[in-house]
Structure 1
Amino acid sequence: MVGGNISMSNRLFYVAQYFTPEPYLKDINFIKSLKDKGWDPVVITGFPNYPKGEIYSGYKNSVFKIEEMEGIKVIRTYTYADHSLNVFKRILNYLCFGILASYAIFKFGKKESFYYVLQSSPFVIFTAWTVKLFKSKSKTLLDIQDVFPENIRVSGVIKQGWIINILDFILNNFYYRFFDFFVTVSNSFNKIVQSKGISKSRVLTLYNWSMVEADGTTSSDNYQFAGNFYNIVYAGNIGVHQGLSLLTDAYKLVQEKYPKIKFHFFGDGTDFEALKSKLKEKQIHNVELHGRVSSTEISKYLNAADCLFLHLISDPIYESIIPSKLQAYVEVGKPILGGIQGEAAELVSANNLGEVFNSEDNNAMLKAIEVLYNMDASTIEKILNNSKQLYADDFSRAAGATKVDNFLKQNIVN
């Protein structure tokens, strides 16, 4: 697909289903960072509706709407807004964007440009096909957040193995091969993409950065949780993949052995009600469910924590995933309690950022908490320093924008 370096203008079309003002990672600040490095960016996106599936106040759905946001041209396409658990409606949501974003490329796109496509569903392949057909001297990059069909298998939406195999064949032959370059969120994902017949030189590992940083917020207050407790904070989606309802025995064990430890969960999701029900059933009182809070507000809770908690269910695919909340935790610099595996666990352990335990293992979680609870001040200070250094070098938006810029310029002669 790519024959050495290519001659191209500095035009860059960033195609993403979700964008500012939605709370999404690669936002207006990321695009401004690329503009500062000499790129001429245009954004193609939908009308803001995430996470509730309702068009934001101040916006009116239409086929196309062009606006300027902080000096960046933003083209919004008609959006079928839905984030329910209805599979048919969710498919329509993704399909609608895939088709209309492709039409926007046909209508507004330019030749000899670079098309940076943020993956939201397999339907973004329509954008790559459109570029190949109508902007043939342009190049495309797919920013992979989830490797298909592996994440479809894990989601449980499709359980039949033969269907997954068919999807794998289709994706390998009609999806990945139509993009020129790739960005992955972990080294493990990088290797999976290479296993699909894509050369190493065409794939960049780009760690996600903190959503708190994406909002430009810092903790300037001195918020503290009520009472004299050791506060363990979880912030993010409470879904089946996070499996927090599978750890109620651990919460119970902590409650019985360490009454001065309290868990604070911020967020909601498909596992929220199951978790709430189990906490009530088992009379667990050391877990507070705060619900969803804004990304601008969450920073004060993260900074008030004694320990930051994350967990993913036990599945081989999660050995390749670095959860986005891990980056936010690293930026804050508090000790991390991680029920994680693979590359994410290695990052925490290798950089001495806290304690990890096997996913879904309640007894191992208790032991990890005991280590963190009894940690001395000097060790906590070392974790802070290690975290700040790791974030600046590998996880920050500034580091990410530099990596993207260098990767593109290695393959493009302006």
Structure 2
Amino acid sequence: MRVLIFSQYFWPESFGINALARSMQERGIAVTVLTGQPNYPDGIVFPGYAAWRTSREMLSGIEILRVPLVPRGVKSGLRLAVNYLSFLASASLVGPWMLRGAQYDAVFVYAPSPLLQALPAVFLSWWKRAPLVVWVQDLWPESLSATGFVRNKVMLGLVGSVVRYIYRHTDLILIPSQAFREPIRRLAPSKGCIAYYPNPFVEEPLGASTPSPDLSALVAEIASASSVVFAGNLGTAQSLDTILDAAERVSARGRLIRFFIVGSGSLSEWLAEEVERRGLKNVSLPGRFPSSAMMSIFASASALLVSLRDEPIFAQTIPSKVPGYLAAGKPIIASLNGEGARVVVEAKAGVACPAGDSEALADAVIHICGLDDDVRRVMGENGRRYAEKHFGLAGLTDDLIARLEALSAQRGASSR
């Protein structure tokens, strides 16, 4: 079976699609990836690549075709929009030329924000006479208004029309959270074309975005005291002000618990300034580490923290870091509403508190860090078992391949 994966992001950028592509290839699927020139998250094209070139490369048997794009740049909403639009244009115009003569049994879109990147795949699916599967990672247009990126109702309406067009031409929509079903169903024409497909946890990521700083020193520092680790993107959705407020409350109560906020993002600079302004000695910002370092960092922590803002759309989301946290075998503190909190509680892997409530978060941190080691170990083991059962990469890969084969067979029968 030949599968075309369509994604703006791919190795050496660190995204979940990397491991899924490798897992499919290891099962005998001929995988081709059409993607852009790597520049996430720093907004600068990686060494060895060029923004305005096309390129072809092989990675562990996976064929990677890259189209030109405008890099994201740094802290520029306009530049980010141009980045998205340039990939759309390049994939639409240059992509077909790079794919000329090739045939595929399915087109699979990995669709983190923006979902609009799936537009060229609609044409590619029609051109190659292959079924189209879109793995939605974010609800659009809802996420635009929730993050404040777009608030104009006319613009949101236009985006909604484009999203409806994409769904109307998609054979199967995969959703990482059951709560995505109803919002998508309002836009999708058929109730039967939506299926639950969660993000898997990945212990051995394919590729890393940057060289690692002194990992051993950080691991030793985290392990030296009661510690809570938050890892991932540092943006508006993550409710970082709630974490800082909670850290301030924990410190005011005289508890010697340290917060390690590992990662980078649009609010990195604000976060550093705020930590200094507040004089938060119990908050450390070690920066961004490659995904290959995460399991070592998680293993050294007393507990792992995941947080999102108090917005209705985020209550429908299971943050992609949750499966990895569960697999790490450490207690989880979920400052979340809705689906993400439900998974942590259902797994008996930690505690949940309302999103945006810094006092409740401080209470949860003190509670978890005050538990006996044996109790925390049981929580971690519960999480590990839950992750293996519900988010294991091998099982999810087999499930995806079976779906793609079924769709391809249906498309072939229809053509005949």
On whether the aligned pair clears a TM of 0.5, the verdict is: yes
Gaps of 5+ in 2: 209-214
Residue of 153, 163, 168 corresponding to 2:145: 153
1:242: how far off? 0.7
Q: Which moved more, 1:362-371 or 1:270-279?
A: 270-279
Residue of 360, 376, 379 corresponding to 1:380: 376
Question: Residue 190 of structure 2 aligns with which residue?
Answer: 199
Matched, 1:121 2:114: yes
Residue of 60, 69, 72 corresponding to 1:82: 72
Letter in 2 for 1:126: L
Matched, 1:318 2:314: yes
1:389: how far off? 1.3
Question: Residue 124 of structure 2 aligns with which residue?
Answer: 131
Letter in 1 for 2:3: L
Question: Residue 29 of structure 2 aligns with which residue?
Answer: 39
1:356: how far off? 0.8
1:61: how far off? 4.1
Q: Whole-Å Cα distance in 1 between the matches of residues 388 and 20 of structure 2?
A: 16
Q: Whole-Å Cα distance in 1 between the matches of residues 224 and 40 of structure 2?
A: 37
Identity %: 24
Question: Residue 4 of structure 2 aligns with which residue?
Answer: 13
Q: Whole-Å Cα distance in 1 between the matches of residues 207 and 104 of structure 2?
A: 33
Residue of 115, 125, 132 corresponding to 1:140: 132
Q: Whole-Å Cα distance in 2 between the matches of residues 226 and 33 of structure 1?
A: 32
Q: Whole-Å Cα distance in 2 between the matches of residues 248 and 376 of structure 1?
A: 25
Q: Deviations over 1:185-241 (max 9, x none)?
A: 211113322232343432222222335542489xx9894326852111111112111
Question: Residue 167 of structure 1 aligns with which residue?
Answer: 159
Q: Deviations over 1:364-391 (max 9, x none)?
A: 1122123212222332232122112111
Letter in 2 for 1:117: V
Residue of 210, 231, 234 corresponding to 2:230: 234
Cα pair distance change 1:34/1:215, threshold 3 Å: closer
Letter in 1 for 2:372: D
Question: Residue 354 of structure 2 aligns with which residue?
Answer: 358
1:252: how far off? 1.6
The correspondence of residues 270-285 of structure 1 with structure 2, limited to 5 A, is 270-285=266-281
1:125: how far off? 3.9
Tell me the TM-score normalized by structure 1.
0.89
Q: Deviations over 1:145-193 (max 9, x none)?
A: 1111011111212223343234323432x22212221122211113322
- After TM superposition, the runs of 4+ consecutive aligned structure 1 residues lying more than 4 A away are 220-223
Tell whether the 8 Å contact from 1:51 to 1:83 is kept in structure 2 after alignment. Answer: no
Q: Whole-Å Cα distance in 1 between the matches of residues 104 and 49 of structure 2?
A: 32
Residue of 382, 386, 389 corresponding to 2:385: 389
Q: RMSD value over aligned CA atoms?
A: 2.5
Letter in 2 for 1:144: V
Q: Whole-Å Cα distance in 2 between the matches of residues 362 and 132 of structure 1?
A: 47
Q: Deviations over 1:232-259 (max 9, x none)?
A: 1111112111111234332122112243
Gaps of 5+ in 1: 1-9
Q: Which moved more, 1:264-273 or 1:352-361?
A: 264-273
